[in-house]
Amino acid sequence: MAESGSAPAYPLGLTPDYVYLKQAYRFPATAPILVAPGATVIVANSAIDHTANNAPLEHNLLDADFEAKDASGKTVNNPATPAVELAYTFAASVTQMNLVQGGPTTVVLFTATEAEVNNWERSYVYGKTSGTQYLRLPIANIKDGIDILKYSATSINTANKRLYNFIDAGYTTITNASGWNGEVLYRRTSNITSTGRRVLTDTNNSSNDITVSSTIAPRAYE
């Protein structure tokens, strides 16, 4: 996940070969992770049934494939759900995925060896020599990404994009500045094959590819 300050730590164009991460997780390498065509992999902070105790805006995540385990114990984890491994975090006390519920929350998928990640430079906010450090991810390692910007009822500040257009030419957002409204972002369907497999839209532009719903469930599409 990219850093998520009120303004980018490094505005786009300043260091064009890098994106700056506040956290990095890796899938366990103990066995191949095979994703069938049309299938979905869910990574959650808390792989439990969040609809319990009369919470109608929440979702049931019991069948999540992986979970970010919270070493601090602040997040309820599911012992039955495999862990994604924390490779880097901007704060030692933050071991769960630091998702900003109202945005910005920029997520990238990248490939790298453990040694590469360990050797990547840590950088302060541009112009500073102290404070929070972010992991400098080479753009060449990025496979895909999505810019989720903070919602505004008037206009979205696209100057807060963390990703270059060739990674995500647009952006997406939920419809509540503070989050916690039960909305889910999911990919649009481009077509359904003769065998019934749903093909999702992927144009490297979240404005085209992603839509929002307050009723759709995880692993479901419209």
pLDDT in tens, 96-145: 999 998 999 999 999 999 999 999 999 999 999 999 999 999 999 999 99
Length of the chain (residues): 222
Instruction: Report residue 2's pLDDT band, with 50, 70 and 90 as the boundaries.
Output: very high
- Mean of pLDDT values over 65-85: 96
pLDDT at 47 over 90: yes
Contact 61, 44 (CB under 8 A): yes
Contact 4, 20 (CB under 8 A): no
Closest CA to 68 of 89, 87, 44: 44
User: Which residue pairs, CB below 8 angstroms and at least 24 apart, start in 132-135?
Assistant: 132/3, 132/22, 132/90, 132/91, 133/90, 134/3, 134/9, 134/20, 134/21, 134/22, 134/90, 135/20, 135/21, 135/22, 135/24, 135/88
Q: pLDDT over 70 for what percent of the chain?
A: 100
On average, the pLDDT of the chain sits at: 95
Q: Counting beta carbons within 10 angstroms of the beta carbon of residue 54, is it exposed (0 to 12), middle (13 to 18) or buried (19 or more)? A: exposed
Q: How high is the pLDDT of residue 120?
A: 98
pLDDT at 85 over 90: yes
pTM, two decimals, is: 0.94
Residue 1: CB atoms within 10 Å: 20
3-class DSSP assignment, residue 196: coil
Q: How high is the pLDDT of residue 145?
A: 98
